[in-house]
Chains A and B, each alone.
Chain A
Amino acid sequence: MRVPVNWLKEYVKIDETVEELAHLLNMGGLGVEEIRGEGDDAVLVLEVTSNRGDCLSIVGVAREVAALTGQELKYPSCEVPEEWGPGSVTERASVEILDPDLCPRYAARLITGVRVAESPDWLKARLEAGGLRPINNIVDVTNYVLLELGQPLHAFDFATLQGEKIVVRRARAGETLITIDGLERDLAEEMLVIADAERPVAIAGVMGGLATEVTDQTVDILLESAHFNPTSVRRTRTKIGMSTEASYRFERWVDPSGPVRTANRAAQLMSEVSGGSVLPGVIDIYPKEIKPVKLFLRPSFVNDRLGTNIASKDVQEMLRSLEFAVSGEDPIECVVPTTRNDILIETDLVEEVARLFGYDNIPTTIPSGVSHQAGEGPRKRLERRARELMVRCGLQEVWTFSLTRPAAMESAGVGNGAAALQLRNPLTEDYTLLRTSMIPGIVEVLSNNAKVGNADVHIFEIGKIYLPKGDDKLPEERNMLAVAAMGSNWSGSWGLDRTTVQADFYALKGILTHLLEDFGVKEIGYRPVAEGNEERGSAKSLHPGRRAEVIADGIPVAILGEIHPMVADTFDLAGRAYLATLNLDALSATACLTHRYQSLLRYPAIDRDISMILRVEVAAEIIGDLIRETGGDLVESVTLFDVYQGNNIEVGKRSLAYSLNFRSPDRTLTDEEVDGCLAHIKDALREKLGAAIREG
């Protein structure tokens, strides 16, 4: 709201500079967003919070200034020069309220014989300073009083009202109204309208109708000053999709004690600027009186909540300065002025005291005590551990949106989004649903980086996917880890073999294995995902020959593989790229982050190598398992150190070389013992897997 300082000074004495005044208001709860201009010409732009409808006027702001500076508030004169015209207002017009729940009070006056014309300069200047556009002297007066006292008013061309009558009622089915902006509005039955004997002539509290608006030909004015139910106005203007200066105030509370006073003020000004005569009498229909709230405030309660030591008489003085009727010492009885609808309980009074006392004057203390559960819980700890491990593996963390779109999911091979939670009111087509997979997001990060020339991207994200859960209102929010890699992750790669620095399936597998071991998983298995089984774990995003499901202690927890060439192509990835997604929640139940110490074996180890040629179909895992199984306790470790396929090896076969480490925890092994064991292992490899062992 705009507050011209010179206008403000009509109602309260201000000794402070504009900057000091702005600071005072800021620290008193009326945020000053901006000061436009200087000195008395300055205009304060206020951010009035939605609980302070009483401050949406110059006088309302003056009331706050008076309370904060201790000055006196001077109200504008509301005396009407009534003239004895042809009859009184009650003889000429009538008002009927059919829905007092939505309109507790309706006041009206008649001003006759007006000359509708341009407003005088002082009036136009005030409106413009307040941010409103001058229209004509009658409408301008209603807007002037709206700015001055916060009461929205409406001026009807009295001659156009059928039956010289105002009926305040809910709209009827099928009724429409052309509003002053020229648009035909459909009225819903719950909307409150102002009607004449025949038809709606205004949407109550929001906007008037075109047919009854003030024009150059208008002679007699019916001036409306009412109090409407805030919720009703809010619903109506939301439904119509239009907020006005009037609706903005009505939905934030307009003083129900004000209509007659404000109607008088406007009538006075109208007769002054338009030469009209004010008919004697006021119509004031007030079927549902809104009584002031009465509260009791204990000074001890104030101090217990604020941590202060304010005396009862100081509390009383503060409340009095805000126009509360105050009596008694402890508790203090307070009658809340009807300008305020935000003071309903004792605590609301505590805030009034706090802000007048000054937040800066409240002491600063540290609360005692700690939570016995201080710190993070197991799930958060697991997440932190996963993040640490990824960073230790040299991966860069990324954060992507949980909102995505069907096209992105389809391009990434994770369905069309039909099963995902859809936003009912998306803002743009890019973000219409909640992700059910981490894949589109992280592939997009690869793609966006590739577009700006970052060819080497090794990243991870920890985030949620949102899986609708049968009839449950809320989805499962599953915590996931996603990893993606393309290009090299070396800070320099000169002198290194190209293939060893480029991302590949095994580099990613190595990282996943690190993670699962860190989480204390005992058995880690990698299974190829067969064609036809892709639905499991969104494997459709992956190359059919280069993808695996990861099984941790019997539970499928992750998938990994090379990004499907078609997906890579859609996302403009130049080379091969790889990704993995892992269900952190599936691991959290069993994860064991503390690893117990294992004693170091003191007896010497004996090394032996085995080199063999086998059919390529024989999986490395089977070979390793067979070696360990046959070697038994004597085999401490089995390390693959070479895999070769190509020249000098028969097609369909490959050569594998392992280094075996033999050691006993309780004695020194002899060469004979080890060689005997090695011979068993070789026999088993030959017999069970058809291996040709290279001797010597």
Chain B
Amino acid sequence: MTQKLLELQAEARDAVPAANNSADIEELRRHFLGKKGPLTQILRGMGNVTPEERPIVGKIANETRELIEQLLAEQTERVSARESESSFDAERIDVTLPGRALNVGNRHPLTIVLDEICDIFTGLGFEIVEGPEVETDWYNFVALNIPPDHPARDDHASFYITDDVLLRTETSAVQIRTMEQRQPPVRIIAPGRVYRRDAVDRTHCHTFHQVEGLLVDEHVTFADLKGTLDVFAKRMFGERVRTTFRPHYFPFTEPSAEVDISCFLCDQKGCGVCKGSGWIEVLGSGMVHPKVLENVGYDSEKYSGFAFGMGVERLAMLKFGIDDIRLFYENDLRFLRQFR
């Protein structure tokens, strides 16, 4: 019997690996392990075996079953791997064909910069406020300490609708409207569209955008102004950027300052953007003029504040290396798609 079992094992070792497909393997399974198969037959003849031999034969019989089952399992795996391989082969695609998706929409580059500015100041605890673009002479000029016939009006060539109504030339007008409505502390930024009666060229446009900032409270200092704008410049243009403040003149601030940032393009070695100076002018700022505070009924002895204003187009041009302001309004998709 032992002999028969060993022969069976040899037979299985030859036959099973030769099976080519799953049908043949099923056929072999029936042949070796079926009810009429040789193994079942042998086990049925166990009654004739002596009690001493029975455990030995039983052990070999089990080993034989296990071996055959293992051979069948291995062959099944081999065959099915081969079979699916050939069907994958039939489904092969060209992975180098171009991808296909709905286009990605992007924000306008000015939105990207404006959002960034607003996020920085929001993080510093500022509130975003808005005001009208069509303004009265009072809010745009007089309340900001620019009375009629003031020479500073020369720097603000304005589009007029009537004698008293014009397109605002700066977002500073929003300062007044906000302060009129509330008592200090005031901590706002006002983004928006402004207009100047300027001919259009690479760096000028009749329409552009500003972000105005204002902080009024007790004991607000020029040092606070410097600190706030230094933080802004670093967030906007990188931690290595330094700021410097130069005295300037704005009718609505006293003292006033222009703010330069160290050129982040050339590390202050001098390049076209900083015109070789290593510094780039980016902001106007100053301590709110007492007359402006008094114009909205604040006590200018008790309260002080700072204000600043920046051109969004200018910052965007610096940040993205754009050399022509007109590109922002031509809306050529080849331009707009570059900003994500």
Tell whether, in the assembled complex, residue B134 and residue A374 are in contact, meaning their CB atoms are under 8 Å apart. no
Residue B36 lies at the interface, judged by CB distance under 8 Å to chain A: no
Q: Which of A231, A369, A477 contacts B132 (CB 8 A)?
A: A477
Residue B78 lies at the interface, judged by CB distance under 8 Å to chain A: no
Least Cβ–Cβ distance between B295 and chain A, in angstroms? 14
Task: Mark interface residues in B122-154 (1 if CB within 8 Å of A CB, else 0).
Answer: 101111111011111000000000000111101
Least Cβ–Cβ distance between B136 and chain A, in angstroms? 6
Residues of B within 8 A of A390 (CB): 105
In the complex, what distance in Å separates the CA atom of A490 from the CA atom of B226?
A: 48
In the complex, what distance in Å separates the CA atom of A489 from the CA atom of B100?
A: 10
Residue A29 lies at the interface, judged by CB distance under 8 Å to chain B: yes
* Known A367-B228, A425-B159; contact A397-B107, beta-carbon cutoff 8 A: yes
Least Cβ–Cβ distance between B142 and chain A, in angstroms? 14
Q: Which of A364, A452, A490 contacts B227 (CB 8 A)?
A: A364
Tell whether, in the assembled complex, residue A393 and residue B331 are in contact, meaning their CB atoms are under 8 Å apart. no
Tell whether, in the assembled complex, residue B257 and residue A393 are in contact, meaning their CB atoms are under 8 Å apart. no
Least Cβ–Cβ distance between B221 and chain A, in angstroms? 3
Residues of B within 8 A of A398 (CB): 108, 331, 336
Q: Which of B5-13, B25-33, B50-58, B248-256 has 4 or more CB atoms under 8 Å from chain A?
A: B248-256
* Known A234-B151, A457-B333, A490-B101; contact A367-B136, beta-carbon cutoff 8 A: no
Q: Which of B127, B254, B329 contacts A371 (CB 8 A)?
A: B127
In the complex, what distance in Å separates the CA atom of A29 from the CA atom of B247?
A: 4
Q: Which of A178-186, A400-408, A548-556, A661-669 has 4 or more CB atoms under 8 Å from chain B?
A: A400-408
Residues of B within 8 A of A454 (CB): 332-334
Question: For B193, B219, B222, which residue has the most chain A Cβ atoms within 10 angstroms?
Answer: B222
Task: Mark interface residues in A448-466 (1 if CB within 8 Å of B CB, else 0).
Answer: 1100101001111000101
Residues of A within 8 A of B129 (CB): 377
In the complex, what distance in Å separates the CA atom of A319 from the CA atom of B254?
A: 17
Residues of B within 8 A of A50 (CB): 150-152, 154-155, 249
Tell whether, in the assembled complex, residue A387 and residue B132 are in contact, meaning their CB atoms are under 8 Å apart. no
Residues of A within 8 A of B337 (CB): 396
Residues of A within 8 A of B314 (CB): none
Tell whether, in the assembled complex, residue A366 and residue B228 are in contact, meaning their CB atoms are under 8 Å apart. yes
Residue B39 lies at the interface, judged by CB distance under 8 Å to chain A: no
Residues of A within 8 A of B226 (CB): 359, 362-365
Least Cβ–Cβ distance between A233 and chain B, in angstroms? 10
| CB neighbors of B among A7-21 (8 A) | none
Residues of B within 8 A of A230 (CB): 151
Residue A39 lies at the interface, judged by CB distance under 8 Å to chain B: no
Tell whether, in the assembled complex, residue A392 and residue B105 are in contact, meaning their CB atoms are under 8 Å apart. yes
| CB neighbors of A among B156-177 (8 A) | 159-162, 164-165, 167
Residues of A within 8 A of B328 (CB): 399
Residue B282 lies at the interface, judged by CB distance under 8 Å to chain A: no
Tell whether, in the assembled complex, residue B103 and residue A490 are in contact, meaning their CB atoms are under 8 Å apart. yes
Residue A493 lies at the interface, judged by CB distance under 8 Å to chain B: yes
Chain A: CB-nearest residue to B198: A427
* Known A29-B246, A235-B149, A374-B187; contact A369-B217, beta-carbon cutoff 8 A: yes
| CB neighbors of A among B35-56 (8 A) | none
Residues of A within 8 A of B289 (CB): 347
Residues of A within 8 A of B219 (CB): 304
Tell whether, in the assembled complex, residue B125 and residue A354 are in contact, meaning their CB atoms are under 8 Å apart. no
Task: Mark interface residues in B220-235 (1 if CB within 8 Å of A CB, else 0).
Answer: 1111101110110000
Tell whether, in the assembled complex, residue B230 and residue A425 are in contact, meaning their CB atoms are under 8 Å apart. no
Least Cβ–Cβ distance between A287 and chain B, in angstroms? 23
The number of residues on chain B lying at the interface, defined by a beta carbon within 8 Å of a beta carbon of chain A, is: 91
Tell whether, in the assembled complex, residue B334 and residue A365 are in contact, meaning their CB atoms are under 8 Å apart. no
Residue B210 lies at the interface, judged by CB distance under 8 Å to chain A: no
Tell whether, in the assembled complex, residue B102 and residue A491 are in contact, meaning their CB atoms are under 8 Å apart. yes
Residue A426 lies at the interface, judged by CB distance under 8 Å to chain B: yes
Least Cβ–Cβ distance between A345 and chain B, in angstroms? 6
In the complex, what distance in Å separates the CA atom of A371 from the CA atom of B100?
A: 47
Least Cβ–Cβ distance between A523 and chain B, in angstroms? 27
Residue B203 lies at the interface, judged by CB distance under 8 Å to chain A: no
| CB neighbors of A among B288-340 (8 A) | 289-290, 304, 328-334, 336-337
Tell whether, in the assembled complex, residue A425 and residue B102 are in contact, meaning their CB atoms are under 8 Å apart. no
Residue B23 lies at the interface, judged by CB distance under 8 Å to chain A: no
Tell whether, in the assembled complex, residue B159 and residue A366 are in contact, meaning their CB atoms are under 8 Å apart. no
* Known A365-B227, A371-B188, A457-B333; contact A350-B255, beta-carbon cutoff 8 A: yes
Residues of B within 8 A of A304 (CB): 219, 221, 304
Tell whether, in the assembled complex, residue B197 and residue A427 are in contact, meaning their CB atoms are under 8 Å apart. yes
Tell whether, in the assembled complex, residue A28 and residue B247 are in contact, meaning their CB atoms are under 8 Å apart. yes
Residue A348 lies at the interface, judged by CB distance under 8 Å to chain B: yes
Residue B118 lies at the interface, judged by CB distance under 8 Å to chain A: yes
Least Cβ–Cβ distance between B141 and chain A, in angstroms? 14
Residue B104 lies at the interface, judged by CB distance under 8 Å to chain A: yes
Tell whether, in the assembled complex, residue A399 and residue B228 are in contact, meaning their CB atoms are under 8 Å apart. no
Tell whether, in the assembled complex, residue A360 and residue B231 are in contact, meaning their CB atoms are under 8 Å apart. no
Residues of A within 8 A of B165 (CB): 473-474
Tell whether, in the assembled complex, residue B128 and residue A27 are in contact, meaning their CB atoms are under 8 Å apart. no
In the complex, what distance in Å separates the CA atom of A384 from the CA atom of B198?
A: 30
9 tightest A-B contacts by CB? Answer: A307-B223, A370-B125, A307-B221, A29-B247, A49-B249, A351-B255, A50-B151, A391-B105, A367-B224
Query: Can you list 25 residue pairs at the A/B interface with Cβ under 8 Å?
Result: A26-B246, A27-B246, A50-B152, A51-B249, A231-B149, A305-B304, A347-B254, A359-B246, A360-B245, A364-B227, A365-B223, A365-B226, A369-B125, A376-B118, A377-B127, A377-B128, A391-B104, A397-B107, A399-B110, A403-B206, A449-B331, A449-B333, A459-B333, A464-B193, A491-B101
- Known A-B contacts: A398-B336, A491-B103. Give 19 more (CB < 8 A): A304-B221, A305-B287, A354-B255, A359-B226, A359-B244, A364-B223, A370-B124, A371-B185, A374-B187, A396-B337, A397-B106, A397-B336, A401-B206, A425-B159, A427-B198, A452-B334, A460-B105, A473-B162, A495-B100
Q: Which residues of A contact B (CB under 8 A)?
A: 26-29, 31, 49-52, 230-231, 234-235, 251-252, 304-308, 345, 347-348, 350-351, 354-355, 359-360, 362-367, 369-371, 373-377, 379-380, 384, 387, 390-403, 421-427, 431, 434, 445, 448-449, 452, 454, 457-460, 464, 466, 473-475, 477, 489-496
